[in-house]
Amino acid sequence: MLEWRNVIKKSSREIISELQSRREKARLGGGRKRIEKQHSVGKLTARERINTLLDEGSFEETDMFVIHRIRDFGMDGKTIPGDGVLTGSGKVNGKLVYIYAQDFTVFGGSLSSDHAKKIVKIMKLAIQNKAPIIGLNDSGGARIQEGVESLGGYADVFLQNALASGVVPQISMIMGPCAGGAVYSPAMTDFTFMVKGTSYMFVTGPDVVKTVTSEEVTAEELGGADTHTKISSVADGSFNNDIEALNVLRKFLSFLPSSNEYQYTKRKTHDPKKRISFALDTLIPENPNLPYDMKELIVSIADEYDFFELQENFAKNILIGFIRLDGQTIGVVANQPIVLAGCLDNDSSRKAARFVRFCDAFNIPILTLVDVPGFMPGTAQEYGGIIKHGAKLLFAYAEATTPKVTLITRKAYGGAYDVMSSKHLRGDANYAWPTAEIAVMGAKGAVEILFRNELNDPKKIETRTLDYEERFANPFIAAERGFLDDVIIPSNSRYRLIQAFSKLKNKTQKNPDKKFGNIPL
């Protein structure tokens, strides 16, 4: 005979109340005290960061209730819903993005295998649904109590970084510690930004460095924002605090496509296409040895005079970043004459090559502004591998099939002329100002080689130099050969560039079938 029992079933109201209670617990992360500690050092919590970055009310969280499965070292009694990372999707200025934010209030943001699975899951969704991936990093590293499984979790994330590369934009914002294996995921993303004073990145920390090499160095010196924006180039930019970082990131995302399949739609602009900039007619100094600021040209031609520069404090002899022309995002690469005369060196070549490849991967048109006297000479550059580093930029431009427009403002000498998106590297539209000088080298150096037997006669050398300048140090020889499509008036540059890019909007060009090219890394 069956024994009947009274079973008390929870009401719908009680079930919903329990759900709300669970959600509230998850939203508290590591608790009020740890949240206050996070605030005390000038940092927002992971949830506050997401709410600041995303459009209001757009965040949809996934895996809120995930907990770790670690049973050693007393961890079986320590579980917090979410396991130290928030994951989900939302919108930035109406654009879908996928996001994860590590929560330092929960186990110091350390990564367990379940923590990693949450990140991998959201990255796979981003690849599948063709939307950018944003990582807000604030983590003490691998969850030591878990051992090798946490290391496996890192490798799982790295794999997704590699698979997502060139498919959807990947952006890392370092907002706290990022050490050991954790640094390699940001390094594999397209862009990395940092917050000054509260974030750092290094493979081995100051204590290990001191033990192994006897060097005494602080965390800030070893891997702070200044180090990675000025010396290592690991980071593309840095900001004063969390709020500034997240607000600028919102702006930055507006320049980027959602994926490599995204078809560009123009952003509305009230800046006239035919706006004339008469100041450009006198931008180039009459003395060819005097510098000028290439940023003046970039800002002058850009919609609303807006230039979003990247790696501003590294390899300053070359400029990279985004502008809009008639509402369309354009990637800019430009020599900077006020630093090292605009010469290409190891650092500037690497900096520009990576940017060109990003633009090409996502079909962002590239504008190249050229004033380059050549590659930097010297043993330091040769020993540092300038041949290979210069070849990276050459390879990147040659391989790129996105629309490419080039404008030579003054000097374009030697092999550097070839490298800077010349017509020979499949430049689609190549222009020059009347002030441009396109030659193997400067007139004085060329004459001293060609007429070395006359070096003891200064007057003859001066006459020869003037003659060389008249015959070769101008854009018209290149134009006669078809290496330039036109010589344009500087003040009219904005309109001519807009016209050039508008004609290229339906460009299709393919490289020979292959798995991938072997860039000289």
Nearest to 155 by CA among 180, 126, 185: 185
- Tally of CB atoms within 10 A around 370: 27
Nearest to 257 by CA among 326, 184, 322, 192: 322
Point out the catalytic residue in the list 416, 478, 479, 500: 416
Q: Is 180 a catalytic residue?
A: yes
Give the span between the Cα atoms of 135 and 123, in whole angstroms: 10
Give the span between the Cα atoms of 45 and 179, in whole angstroms: 19
Point out the catalytic residue in the list 29, 84, 141, 180: 180
Give the span between the Cα atoms of 441 and 414, in whole angstroms: 6
Helix (H), strand (E) at residue 212: helix 206-213
Q: Is 109 a catalytic residue?
A: no
Give the span between the Cα atoms of 368 and 331, in whole angstroms: 8
Residue with tokens 């002899």: 317
The letter for the amino acid at 176 is G
Give the span between the Cα atoms of 356 and 350, in whole angstroms: 10
Give the span between the Cα atoms of 392 and 519, in whole angstroms: 6
Nearest to 366 by CA among 432, 438, 425, 283: 425
Q: Is 384 a catalytic residue?
A: no
Point out the catalytic residue in the list 147, 166, 327, 415: 415
Q: Is 384:344 a contact under the CB 8 Å cutoff?
A: no
Helix (H), strand (E) at residue 325: strand 318-325
Point out the catalytic residue in the list 147, 152, 166, 181: 181
Q: Is 39:47 a contact under the CB 8 Å cutoff?
A: no
Give the span between the Cα atoms of 202 and 219, in whole angstroms: 8
Q: What is the 3-state secondary structure (H, E, C) of 416-466?
A: HHHHCCCHHHCCCEEEECCCCEEECCCHHHHHHHHCHHHCCCHHHHHHHHH
Known catalytic residues?
180-181, 415-416
